[in-house]
């Protein structure tokens, strides 16, 4: 019996090594390594080796976290780095994106594939919003008359029908399930206009807003009169958002901005929010934020304001 278990372990390690040599994204290999020994061994047909109790294979978080990721923009390598650095555990953690998963960057399909594989939730960013609107008009490709942006054309070619269906189903606003939170928490891509009821916020603002102008209206511009919308937002709903790489990480009284410019060669950032979080988000400390460095710049900040 002991001999069998040793043989099976050797076979398992060999399988793992073989899998590592495949061109699987490292996040999946990492996920496989973290899977419980029972699942791992069952899937390999090796049922009688239980694995060492309490090892890294069997220990999992009980409460779990919401891992909320800033603007990825097709940077799949950085997304894999981030999930690995977060020690993301598919069984207990939940993956959430603040939108702009695609657009500008190198691997939109890969990012959508990771999101779907991990059963992630997400809101639409301005890039998803605009692409979906463009696609709904039924414009053929290539489409010189409608002047679809070059990077959009590449993205449209890259995505498959299943990916489009997944994107089509994304909402503009997501209410997070945090049963112990004293205040509601929502995710939107860009922002909310102070003074406007939640259910009357305009879709355009939800995916484009950056600032509040001198008259108190929403603006997509960086330097409108009253500054960042998040500084002007008085709650009580707490908002997690992206879209504003120029301002980078924002930690305001009722709003947290997570776009740290991954596609521009800066960083990709996640908020690691325990599912049993029971305080205002202002109580989050640095340990709840995780960033990974981009491999390189895939776009120039001067290319576009979006
Ligand atoms: Mn955006």
C-alpha 193 to ligand 1 mean position (Å): 16
More confidently predicted of 12 and 295: 295
Query: What are the C-alpha distances in Å from 255 to residues 12, 85, 190, 231, 266?
Result: 47, 24, 11, 8, 21
**pLDDT at residue 57 tops 50:** no
Strands 255-257 and 238-241: parallel
C-alpha 174 to ligand 1 mean position (Å): 16
C-alpha 204 to ligand 1 mean position (Å): 12
* Residue pair 12/50 in contact by the 8 Å Cβ criterion: no
Q: Which residues pair with 173 in a beta bridge?
A: 188
* Residue pair 298/102 in contact by the 8 Å Cβ criterion: no
Span 201-230, average pLDDT: 92
C-alpha 101 to ligand 1 mean position (Å): 9
C-alpha 64 to ligand 1 mean position (Å): 28
**pLDDT at residue 33 tops 80:** no
CATH architecture of 61-303: 4-Layer Sandwich (3.60)
**pLDDT at residue 90 tops 80:** yes
Q: How many CB atoms lie within 10 A of CB 166?
A: 18
C-alpha 285 to ligand 1 mean position (Å): 25
Residues 78, 161, 173, 293: what is their CA dihedral angle, to the nearest 10 degrees? Answer: 10
Residue 298 is predicted with a pLDDT of 95
pTM strictly above 0.95:
no
**Residue 161: band (very low, low, confident or very high) from pLDDT cuts 50, 70, 90:** very high
Span 84-110, average pLDDT: 96
C-alpha 302 to ligand 1 mean position (Å): 14
Query: Which pair of tokens denotes residue 261?
Result: 């410019």
C-alpha 259 to ligand 1 mean position (Å): 8
More confidently predicted of 140 and 206: 206
Residues of the chain with CATH 3.60.21.10: 61-303
Query: What are the C-alpha distances in Å from 243 to residues 4, 91, 165, 220, 268?
Result: 55, 29, 23, 10, 12
First to last CA, the chain: 62
Span 241-260, average pLDDT: 97
* Residue pair 211/223 in contact by the 8 Å Cβ criterion: yes
Q: What is the mean pLDDT of the chain?
A: 82
**pLDDT at residue 285 tops 90:** yes
């Amino acid at each position: 019996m002991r001999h069998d278990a040793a043989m099976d372990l050797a076979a398992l390690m060999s399988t793992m090594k073989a899998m590592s040599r495949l061109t699987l994204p490292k996040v999946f290999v990492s996920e496989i390594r973290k899977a419980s020994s029972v699942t791992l061994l069952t899937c390999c047909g090796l049922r009688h080796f239980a694995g060492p109790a309490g090892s890294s294979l069997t220990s999992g978080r009980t409460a779990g976290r919401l891992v909320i990721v800033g603007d990825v923009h097709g940077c799949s390598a950085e997304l894999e780095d981030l999930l690995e650095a977060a020690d993301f555990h598919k069984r207990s953690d939940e993956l959430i994106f603040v939108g702009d998963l695609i657009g500008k960057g190198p691997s939109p399909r890969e990012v959508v594939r990771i999101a779907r594989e991990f059963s992630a939730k997400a809101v639409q960013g301005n890039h998803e919003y605009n692409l979906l609107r463009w696609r709904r008009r039924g414009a053929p490709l290539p489409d010189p008359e409608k002047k679809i942006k070059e990077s959009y054309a590449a993205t449209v070619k890259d995505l498959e029908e299943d990916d489009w269906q997944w994107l089509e189903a994304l909402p503009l606003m997501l209410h997070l399930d945090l049963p112990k939170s004293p205040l509601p928490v929502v995710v939107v891509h860009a922002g909310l206009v102070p003074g406007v009821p939640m259910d009357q916020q305009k879709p355009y603002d939800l995916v484009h807003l950056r600032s509040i102008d001198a008259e108190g209206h929403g603006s997509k511009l960086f330097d409108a009169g009253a500054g960042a919308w998040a500084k002007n937002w008085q709650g009580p709903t707490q908002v997690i958002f992206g879209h504003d790489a120029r301002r980078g990480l924002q930690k305001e009284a009722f709003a947290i901005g997570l776009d740290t410019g991954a596609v521009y060669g800066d960083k990709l950032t996640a908020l690691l929010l325990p599912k049993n979080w029971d305080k205002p988000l202002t109580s989050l400390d640095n340990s709840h934020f995780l960033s990974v460095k981009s491999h390189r710049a895939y776009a120039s900040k001067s290319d576009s304001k979006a």
